[in-house]
Amino acid sequence: MYGSEAYIVGAYEHPTRKADDISVLKLHAQVAKGALDDAGLTIDDVDGYFCAGDMPGLGPATMIEYLNLNVRYFDSTDCGGSAPIVHVGHAVRAIADGRCNVALVTLAGRPRAAKGTLALQPPNPDSPDVAFEQPYRPMTHNMYAMAAKRHMWQFGTTSEQLAWIKVAASHHAQHNPNAMLPYRVSVEDVVNSPLVADPLHRLDCCVVSDGGGAVVVARREIAEQLGGKLVAVKGMSAAPKNSMAGKVDLTYTAAAYSGPRAFKEAGVEPSDIQYASLYDSFTITVLLQLEDLGFCVKGTGGSFVADGNLISGIGALPFNTDGGGLCNNHPANRGGMTKIIEAVRQLRGEANQNVQVPNCELALVNGIGGSIATRHTAATMILERL
């Protein structure tokens, strides 16, 4: 088993959605303490630290100094929204290799308080893509809209079908007191909301929020002594996908590569998964992942999500039961961490009782980092309750 030497023992999501008076560094520190408290550990127990580009300053060195950590191992792999999932996988491997015993993974940001948006920031002029892409003014929403339009043209997917993804997220968010959009919406509400980039409407897009989260991974012997509910990583894989010299197919993501490898490593099939945490920057992001991960055949995602199939207690595959990025939060514009946290809640039986999957033993987490229309990464992780 992939994670037989280490388990997720702590998880914490910051309750704030607008951090006017909290620095990014303090957000990282607060979620670190929350996850350690949840695990029954302290800062002094941490000897491995993981963070990505959302950490200000000199990456992990900044947080290590701020918390006065004494670590033997650190990792600052940055691949966008998929990074926290990669970090958990790396932490499990590092512990198995004897490089550390207790690994802390944090993510935090405050784009909402800083009046940030999901528009891509001006790239480094030394980046090789600038001369070819910037004349077309790429923005996050219009690139995802391009992928959605292609899927509609090729497979007949409709805006109403995409809307069901938002509807499902809203059914879950109504039970989350911290959610930015804690109310139910209908298919009509989604398709009648203002058009942002054809064919995506405002309600097809995720929220922009502050906050963050953290998880703690510990060596098996330590985890077992803590006496809490343990979550094992059965399989994890990551993969990139790029524009392929102009031959890119917009109808799939890198999850088409990472997903099968993670399932193979875990020794399970998509039909075994009881709960799915899927990166939901836009409704189209979810639909593509469902197809790429094998929950439905390519091109049939629209019919798969329709009529509430993603709603807990109603559909066959409950997803994002905290409301996800579409309704709950999207801290630092990177949603991978919150996907891990809600999956851990489900496996522990600690999700809101209105959305808790009965006897949830096996969950999937998938993150996307970058833009599905150009270059991006995907990380897929299979988690099991012990």
Residue of higher predicted confidence among 132 and 264? 264
pLDDT band of 120, cuts 50, 70, 90? very low
241 in any annotated domain: yes
Residue 119 has pLDDT above 50, yes or no: no
Residue 123 has pLDDT above 90, yes or no: no
pLDDT band of 118, cuts 50, 70, 90? very low
250 in any annotated domain: yes
Q: Which domain holds residue 313?
A: 6-115+206-385
270 in any annotated domain: yes
Whether 190 and 166 have beta carbons less than 8 Å apart is answered as: yes
Count the Cβ atoms, other than its own, within 10 Å of residue 81: 30
120 in any annotated domain: no
Residue 195 has pLDDT above 70, yes or no: yes
The total domain count for the chain is 1
24 in any annotated domain: yes
pLDDT of amino acid 134: 79
Find all residues with CB under 8 Å of 31, minimum gap 6, and list them. Answer: 12, 13, 14, 106, 107, 108, 212, 213, 214
Whether 43 and 69 have beta carbons less than 8 Å apart is answered as: yes
CA dihedral 310, 316, 321, 325 (to 10 degrees): -30
CATH of the domain at 303: 3.40.47.10
133 in any annotated domain: no
pLDDT of amino acid 318: 98
110 in any annotated domain: yes
pLDDT of amino acid 226: 95
Query: Using one digit for the tens of pLDDT, what is the confidence trace for 67-79?
Result: 999 999 999 999 9
77 in any annotated domain: yes
Residue 82 has pLDDT above 70, yes or no: yes
Query: Using one digit for the tens of pLDDT, what is the confidence trace for 231-280?
Result: 999 999 999 999 888 888 999 999 999 999 999 999 999 999 999 999 99
As a whole-number percent, the residues of the chain with pLDDT over 90 amount to: 88
pLDDT of amino acid 114: 87
